[in-house]
């Protein structure tokens, strides 16, 4: 089983960050030649019963999504990292599983960054988001 290269997140709080700002960042363990897009999506209301097309599967859409800025590989729906309009920042981290992933299409860890309860799109508070950790694994 191949081992994923390390990826790391960091956060700097005042007084280490200037002007009272909080700085959040992440390096990417993605292939060097893979295009990373920085995208903005406006907050939106969605029809009851509607679906959202994730990277490989469709899931039920939440009634309202937050405005988000994300960085993602161009080929997928999810996000490597991002922030929403409420200041919640999330990034995924590579993990190495002891068991091989199923060979079926699944919801990716990068999709979780964007849509999971506590993800950037989903309307929850910072207090509930801060306890969550998303990993780059298939579920």
Active-site annotation, residues? 9
- Phi first, then psi: give them for residue 89, nearest 5 degrees: -115, 135
Neighbours of 2 (CB within 10 A): 5
Write the secondary structure of 61-79 as one string of H (helix), E (strand) and C (coil): CCCEECCEEEEEECCCCCC
Work out the burial of residue 94: count CB atoms within 10 Å of its CB; fewer than 13 is exposed, 13-18 middle, 19 or more buried.
middle
């Amino acid at each position: 089983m191949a081992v994923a290269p390390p990826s790391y997140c960091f956060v700097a709080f005042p007084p280490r960050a200037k002007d009272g700002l909080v700085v959040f960042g992440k390096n990417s363990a993605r292939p060097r030649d893979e295009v990373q897009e920085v995208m903005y999506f406006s907050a939106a209301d969605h029809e009851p019963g509607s679906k959202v097309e994730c990277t490989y599967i469709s899931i039920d859409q939440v009634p309202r999504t937050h405005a988000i800025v994300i960085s993602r590989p161009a080929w997928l729906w999810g996000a490597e990292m991002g922030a929403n309009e409420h200041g919640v920042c999330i990034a995924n981290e590579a993990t190495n599983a002891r068991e091989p992933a199923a060979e079926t299409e699944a919801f990716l860890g990068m999709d979780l960054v964007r849509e999971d309860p506590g993800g950037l799109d989903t309307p929850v508070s910072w207090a509930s988001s801060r306890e969550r950790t998303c990993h780059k694994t298939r579920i």
